[in-house]
Amino acid sequence: MSRPLTSATLADIDAILVGLQPLLPSSVVDAGTNARLELAFRLTVVRLTRGGRDTPTWITGLLLLLESHLVRRHVFVSDDAVDPLDAILAADLDLRRNLWRARVTAAATEEGVHRLWSSRLGAARVEDFRWLWDLGASTSNEQAKSAIASVLRALLKEMSPDQRAQLVGSHENPDRTEFIG
């Protein structure tokens, strides 16, 4: 599998991924779902590693589709396919934040809200705390706000006392300071 991927052009990879998207909604599960997901995860990793900062706008929607299968757990996708994509999201702040914005937008359903606090791809990191706070404050969706608050509480548990003190000491946002306690 890796040999043909190394010689495929970005245009070819994009065409395959765009063609796969209609077959990836988590409501569509058939005999070929596992194979399509495995291919989509691996091609997405290749696309993001070879594409540099040139990330197509449709990639965030693709990431949501891929993640929907991980949340529902009705199919198997190997860690060998998922972990490299998660590593890319951990390292790429812009892509991770685009995914979080898309999650908030998609939080109109129970699955969408669940995805906010149980994300398997691009999980929130301590350095995302201020940004996630602002994202939660900017949404009018109360369920999304509540889910983001749960994520923020989990991040607080990961922070060192110095990191929490730094956030409180900044006095940028009295509500956030109170939340941190």
Return the domain boundaries, the chain: 1-123, 124-181
**8-state DSSP, 122:** S
Interior angle at CA 94, CA 90 and CA 100, nearest 5: 75
| Prediction pTM value | 0.86
Q: Tell which residue, 122, 14, 12, 10, has the closest CA to residue 64.
A: 122
Range 120-144 burial, b when 16+ CB lie within 10 A, else e: bbbbbeeebbeebbebbeebebebb
- Secondary structure of residue 96 in the 3-state scheme: helix
**8-state DSSP, 170:** T
Write down the pLDDT at residue 76.
81
Question: How far is Cα 39 from Cα 102, in angstroms, rounded to an integer?
Answer: 23
Question: How far is Cα 110 from Cα 179, in angstroms, rounded to an integer?
Answer: 25
Write down the pLDDT at residue 173.
78
Write down the pLDDT at residue 1.
47
Residue with tokens 């922070």: 159
Residues of the chain with pLDDT under 70: 1-6, 72-73, 170-171
Structure token digits, residue 84:
């490299």
Write down the pLDDT at residue 4.
64
Write down the pLDDT at residue 23.
86
User: Within 10 Å of residue 157's Cβ, how many Cβ atoms?
Assistant: 7
Interior angle at CA 73, CA 132 and CA 65, nearest 5: 55
